[in-house]
């Protein structure tokens, strides 16, 4: 009976975590460059239960022979194995702001497993570490540096901060920034071929799991992209599909909850009625 408790509880925990993930996706549906998380549920390995016992052997000098008797298998439920960002290209939304910059993927290599890589803007994180983002909602701070909305410096192809004289800038499709006819810098576009090495840091930022910088996509003949000034990339969240998945997760959670309630009533009856001393 207790086996059912563990299985139902594992299912409830997995669906609760999946609901939290989908809720976060839905909350960021209008966040520029946000990449929706996808969950992967997996069952715990099935286990075989055996009972250790002994049996008397009917011989003149009796002795007990140790034995094993199979009780049956046990399923320990499911768990959320991992979350994977959906790096699909988002739609373009025109804003007209000169510091809004969108990254449009044209061609990105696909590895042997069929997984497509991803492109990012490079920004300076805390402690001068490299972070990456697809949110091109940039601004210019009081010192004239091009930054993200939360104050992180946008980096050039040489991984240096980009300082400007004002907001009257022009950015061509290659990512080169001009002030008038003067070339100031070129935006660094980084390439990640292994998305399993990319982890979210919050606020639309990513970082490599091993702490190593991503290679630049500039000069890579297998990669093609365009920089669109005055545009923002919308999130990859499909709101209708996310709502459907949330309802499915709620129903699965309720089903496991009802199983636990049924076990609880059975336990109560066993204690209060079957186990009553008369």
pLDDT tens sequence across 212-252 = 899 999 989 999 999 999 999 999 999 999 999 999 999 99
Residue 243's nearest CA partner among 85, 26, 31, 29 is 26
The rounded radius of gyration (Å) of the Cα atoms in the chain is 28
When pLDDT is averaged across residues 125-138 and rounded to a whole number, the result is 90
Count CB neighbours of 25 within 10 A: 24
pLDDT of residue 2: 63
Domain that holds residue 213: 91-233
Note whether 205 and 257 are same-domain residues: no
Note whether 54 and 33 are same-domain residues: yes
239: in domain: no
Helix (H) or strand (E) holding 259: helix 239-269
DSSP structure class, residue 164: -
Residue 138's nearest CA partner among 103, 178, 90, 182 is 103
17: in domain: yes
pLDDT at 42 over 90: no
Note whether 41 and 78 are same-domain residues: yes
39: in domain: yes
Note whether 109 and 44 are same-domain residues: no
pLDDT of residue 184: 94
241: in domain: no
């Amino acid at each position: 009976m207790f086996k059912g408790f563990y299985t139902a509880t594992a299912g409830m925990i997995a669906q609760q975590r999946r609901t939290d993930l989908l809720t976060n996706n839905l909350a960021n549906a209008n966040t520029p460059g946000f990449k929706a998380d996808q969950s992967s549920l997996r069952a715990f390995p099935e286990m075989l239960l055996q009972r250790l016992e002994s049996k008397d052997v009917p011989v003149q000098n009796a002795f007990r022979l140790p034995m094993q008797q199979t009780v049956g298998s046990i399923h320990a439920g499911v768990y959320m194995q991992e979350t994977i960002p959906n790096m699909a290209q988002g739609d373009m939304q025109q804003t007209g702001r000169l510091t809004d910059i969108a990254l449009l993927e044209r061609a990105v290599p696909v590895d042997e497993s069929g997984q497509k890589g991803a492109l990012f803007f490079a920004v300076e994180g805390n402690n001068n570490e490299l972070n990456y983002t697809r949110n091109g909602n940039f601004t210019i701070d009081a010192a004239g540096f091009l930054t993200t909305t939360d104050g992180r410096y946008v980096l050039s192809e040489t991984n240096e901060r980009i300082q400007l004289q004002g907001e009257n800038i022009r950015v061509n499709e290659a990512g080169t920034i001009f002030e008038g006819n003067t070339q100031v810098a070129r935006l660094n576009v980084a390439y990640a071929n292994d998305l399993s090495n990319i982890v979210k840091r919050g606020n639309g930022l990513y970082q490599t799991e091993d702490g190593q910088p991503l290679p630049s996509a500039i000069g890579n003949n297998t990669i093609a992209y365009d920089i669109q000034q005055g545009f923002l990339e919308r999130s990859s969240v499909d709101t209708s599909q996310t709502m459907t998945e949330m309802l499915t997760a709620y129903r699965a959670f309720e089903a496991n909850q009802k199983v636990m309630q049924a076990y609880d009533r059975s336990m109560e009856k066993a204690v209060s009625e079957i186990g009553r001393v008369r």
